[in-house]
Structure 1
Amino acid sequence: MSPPRHSSGLPAPRLARTILIAALLGYALFTTTTVLSTGVSPTAKTAGVLLLLAVLALQFVHSAPGGSRALLPQKCLTLGIQTLLTYLPLVVFHAPWGTVSGYLAGSVLLLLPPPVAWPLYGITGLSMLTPPVLEGRPLIDGIHLAETSLLTGLVVYGLTRLTELITQLHAARGELARQAVATERQRFARDLHDLLGFSLSAITLKSELIHRLIPAHPARAMKEINEVLSIAGQSLADVRKVASGFRDMSLQQEIKTARSMLDAAGIDVRTEVRLGALSLQVDTALATTLREAVTNLLRHSDASRCSIRAVQQEGLVRLVVENDGVDPAYHDPSPHGGSGLGNLHARMTAVGGRLESGPGTDGTFRVLAEVPAKKPQETTAEVRQIMFPPNGSAA
């Protein structure tokens, strides 16, 4: 996958690209000085410099981002032209060619599959043994030229690949950062929905109850007003916890709150609670499930009875919320009205559990959440360590 264009402007990719270009220009300058300092004719020198510029342009194409992803016919064409320009001065002008054969060796490694590239890379280097021998120079000159070609090829190949990897790394880091932001937005939205949906429903319900109680039962109305104030204050505290990135809830406490809410709504509530020690994540996930189930009951049903059963047995915790007021034809017109159960599915999956919900055959609606009491090798302290590492920054 090619990296996004904007990643090339980042400091590290730009620096890597600058080093690669400097290396290619440095080798070209070295070859230019070699050609100009020899005793060949001015025509040969001019031709050598012009051919060198053409080879350098081809090398920039081969070392460019995405150059290795070109179509095979295009690769073969540009490699063929580079091969011709590399060997032409040796054959026609007998001019010393310095490290230009190293460009070809590097391009072979960049553009061709490894099973083909490495043998051709070796052949390119060894071919540089021939010109000095044909010109009657010592064999050591040929060995030096071959070694220079092979080393130059490795440098060109290595710097090009390193530049690509750095660019891809920065692109991946940017993508991870965007995903982290999106995940945090989803968490914030999910927590706000789970918190405020219940709290606002509770405040609305109790406010309606207070309105009915004020004329005949002012003392009880005052008690309900105090509860409304308490719920509003707790909602504000919960929102602050959501913003800070960490919020824990208690299933036991949530059952008590749900019972109070349903009693205030005139719903007959029956509870069965047999719970042991729960991990922080599991406790919060189940408490959130109960809160959403009660919120939906108050908003979308006309229930007269509700049962809440929370039982821990053989390492599993099962929460069942069932009511008799389901309306199969109900549809929430709100554009965001259907996100609650989706949020709960995500929460339960995150702690290794499952969630089932739906109407029964007897006119009831049932929400079932089942999850291990503790995630493997998890404790409350470990969760807090993950959420709040020693340096004080949230995970």
Structure 2
Amino acid sequence: MTVDPVDQRMRRARRVTLLSLATNVWTTVLLPAVGLAREPDPVRVVLGAVALAGFTVAQVAVLHAAVTPWLATAARRRRHLALAVAALLSLPLLGPVAAGAWPTWAWLGASLVGMTPLLFRPAAAAATGAGVLGAAVVVTVASGGPPATALLVTGGVGAGVALLTWVQVWFWDLLVDARQGQAARARLVVAEERLRFARDVHDLLGHDLTVIALKAELAERLAPVDGARAGREAAEARRLAASALTRVRAAVHGYRAVDLAEQAAAVGEVLRSSGVRCTVEPPTGELPAHVAADLAAVLREAGTNVLRHSRAGWCRIEFTRDDGAVTVTVRNDGVRGVGPDGFSGGLRGLADRLAPSGGRVRASAEEGVFSLVATVPVTP
């Protein structure tokens, strides 16, 4: 699965998920440090600290990979392998630390069990967790501790951490799938519009080109025996070609001409596909082409601002017409900061565009709600 790494909402959700996962498993990594503090042998302390540091680095890498779906498979496997190697090396290096006084490796084993949902499917995760539990029991008994301690710490605590980890990863995967669905829906809207235009062009040209081809073929056959009729057929083919060209130009012009209601609906659809509840009150009546073009530019800029510069949960787009002018108002919640930047390139660009026709644009933020209001005279 892939996710656009620059998506702001996904980046925030990713950071929260990573922090939550780290909180779950790092409690069981920090507790082995208690064993290091209680170990009298300095050599064992140094070796244990090295093992714990290596394990922690490998664990961080695996946690990062779990919430980085665009990471290459080979890089992900290398991180998993590094964690396995660090875990195996920790057995002889960290296992004897604070022998009999503190279940040092049992806590590390709990961290490993807690991470199994990040590494394996449920059946393999259960088998791996059982293997880690067995290793914890062996290490605990070999170091003079009771096996019940390993069962409680590695088995009980590890299983609880694993359950929380699985739930968090499950929610993250749901979020990724939902985001991909929204992106696919937006792409589908664009693809449908392209198909519509392609069908229109096909309907316009298909019949005419077929007739032109037949006329040209007939003119070619008649040329040696009836030049006058061949000329008439060639002239008819030319007339049909000119007529077809006129219709195609008209279709392209209509396609390029701005339909403000369609533009507003499209912006609303894009916002809704991005998780924003959007209400659109479309304009009424016909508008001059230059007015529709200017207001369409305002809509595009407003939609971009909602997606990029806010944490909007809702948005309202409304058109009003009075006193020979049309006003579009775009309001959304989730505004960040104290208000719009007066030197914003997008707003300044809109102001420059509307100025020649006597239009104006203003923006404000109040109580977390951002408002963008643009007014364009219907007649210059």
Report the TM range for the smaller structure's normalisation. 0.3 to 0.5
Higher Rg: 1
TM-score using structure 2 length:
0.44
TM-score using structure 1 length:
0.43
